[in-house]
Amino acid sequence: MNVVALEKRNKIHPHKFTLWVGIGSILMMFAGLTSAYIVKRNQANWVSFDLPLAFWYSTAVIIASSVTMWLALKAFRGRLMSRYRGMMLATLVLGIVFIFLQVMGFKQLWDNGITLQANVSYSFLYVIVGIHAAHVIGGVITLIVMALKALNVKMRNYSSVPVELISTYWHFVDILWLYLLIFLLMIR
């Protein structure tokens, strides 16, 4: 019986496996997009541009949200439910602030003439960062659901799997944003 229990413990939860397959797919997509960016950058009509200051502020915000997400998971595992609720709400608010700052950054770009139609280099920026934004919005929607569940004081399900899933995903979009920011700074 102990052997069966050990085998069960060593298996990955199906939802976690599915998340990791999804993360792998997303990584492949962004690897393709950034590779295409590098290839297209060698064209004669490529135009370099500076990233708006709002992107730097949003980077600090998403890093802070990753910390609050980590604290939320730690609190949930410790069954410190009031702290878990607070950290989930803080992560949600920071996620929304990240999106707001990204919108402000794109508004600054647009106001400076960096539009989709102006040049292919600008289009790449909008596509790459826009797809990342879609993934962040998906994460924020999940954070809303998780925060609403956290606020339900009658919660009896103490499975950490959903919290671990959103935590893994949120850290992933955080790391992905850092990669994209560094990529866009180095390959202009």
Among 16-25, 26-35, 84-93, 143-152, the minimum mean pLDDT is found in 143-152
CA distances in angstroms from 88 to 5, 85, 180, 185, listed in the order given: 32, 5, 25, 31
Cα–Cα distance, 107 to 156 (Å, whole number): 44
**Per-residue pLDDT, 154:** 73
pTM above 0.85, yes or no: yes
Cα–Cα distance, 175 to 3 (Å, whole number): 37
Q: Which CATH number applies to 18-186?
A: 1.20.120.80
- What CA dihedral angle connects 93, 98, 99 and 100, to 10 degrees? 90
Segment 54-97, tens digit of pLDDT = 999 999 999 999 999 999 999 999 989 899 999 999 999 999 99
Cα–Cα distance, 148 to 123 (Å, whole number): 37
Q: Is the dihedral of CA 15, 16, 20, 26 positive or negative?
A: positive
- Judged against a pLDDT cut of 60, whether residue 101 lies above it is answered with yes
Segment 103-147, tens digit of pLDDT = 999 899 888 877 766 677 778 888 888 899 999 999 999 999 998
- By the 8 A CB rule, do 171 and 69 touch? yes
